[in-house]
Amino acid sequence: MNNKKQMNQKRPYILTITGFDPCGGAGALADIKTFEANKTLGLAVSTCITYQNENEFEHIDWLSIEQIIKQIDILFKAYRINYAKIGIIENFEALDKVVDHLLYLNSSIKIIWDPVFSSSTGFDFHNNIKNEYIEKICKKIFLITPNWIEMKMICPELTILEGAKKISNFCNVFLKGGHNEDFKGKDYLFTKTKQQNFRVKRIAEYPKHGSGCVLSAAITANLARGFSLEKACLRAKEYVTNYLCSNESLLGYHKI
């Protein structure tokens, strides 16, 4: 392929709507790094400013829904955005408004929601999970990517897998297996018609701050590149495994 043809092949734009983590391990910075490493062009809207590093969390300042919408609008004026990932957001009312606004701007946009309820350093963002909002929101999005703990919070009356199966009646569910005590690292993909398992090919020895953000961002990037949902999940799982194995610290390396 010649250089001129390469230049004409534009990368797809992806929008992340999430918090700002100054150490870059999670949130918008982690998503942007992941998008770029997976050959897409990342755009970011901030929902909050966090005061944290990979070892401790001190405080959070939330942005208003009006501030979030203004950021979204200026980006949609300049770019065609067909995929958006939503991470940490103040409450379900704000999440619902953001989802509706994205669909208003692009009725065919595919929205991936990574339901961040607490930080890896132990700070809880949400304790009151409203089931009526969960179902309402999931009916309007393409994919939700909870981990084991988040899935239990979403459907506390059911087992983890039963909860994921229930939510798959409304949207696709990629259940991240980092907290799976029986099969560490085993992920599950639930759609309306089937369930698939994703086993680990190798053990990732070193935990990472924000690894859930990275996995969800990698799925979004691969979807934007045209891969099927199953293939996007497989490629993202390999990417995050490389990320987890990249060094011994809590902040991983994104390899292009």
Write down the pLDDT at residue 136: 93
Q: Using CA of residue 248, residue 249, residue 250, residue 254, what is the dihedral sign?
A: negative
| Residue pair 173/189 in contact by the 8 Å Cβ criterion | yes
- pTM score > 0.75 for this model? yes
**Residue 137 tokens, joined:** 């929101």
Is a pLDDT exceeding 70 seen at residue 118?
A: no
Choose among 210, 209, 206: nearest CA to 241: 206
Confidence of residue 173 (pLDDT cuts 50, 70, 90): very high
The CA distance from 252 to 256, in Å, is: 13
Average pLDDT of the residues in 87-93: 93
Is a pLDDT exceeding 60 seen at residue 170?
A: yes
Average pLDDT of the residues in 182-208: 81
Q: How many CA atoms lie within 13 A of 12 on its CB side?
A: 17
Q: How far is CA 9 from CA 4, 40, 76, 94, 225, in A?
A: 9, 11, 21, 36, 12
Confidence of residue 128 (pLDDT cuts 50, 70, 90): low
Average pLDDT of the residues in 102-122: 85
Write down the pLDDT at residue 5: 45
Domains in the chain, please, with CATH? 11-244 (3.40.1190.20)
Residue type, 148: W
Radius of gyration of the chain (CA): 17
Confidence of residue 255 (pLDDT cuts 50, 70, 90): confident
Cα 225 to chain centroid, rounded: 16
Query: What mean pLDDT, rounded, does the chain reach?
Result: 89
Please enumerate in sequence order all residues whose Cβ is within 8 A of that of 15, keeping only pairs 6 or more positions apart, or say none. 42, 43, 44, 45, 72, 75, 81, 83, 84, 85
Q: Using CA of residue 32, residue 233, residue 89, residue 55, what is the dihedral sign?
A: negative
Extract the runs of DSSP E, i.e. beta strands, from the chain: 13-20, 41-52, 57-62, 83-86, 110-113, 143-144, 172-175, 187-190, 195-198
Q: Which residues pair with 110 in a beta bridge?
A: 83
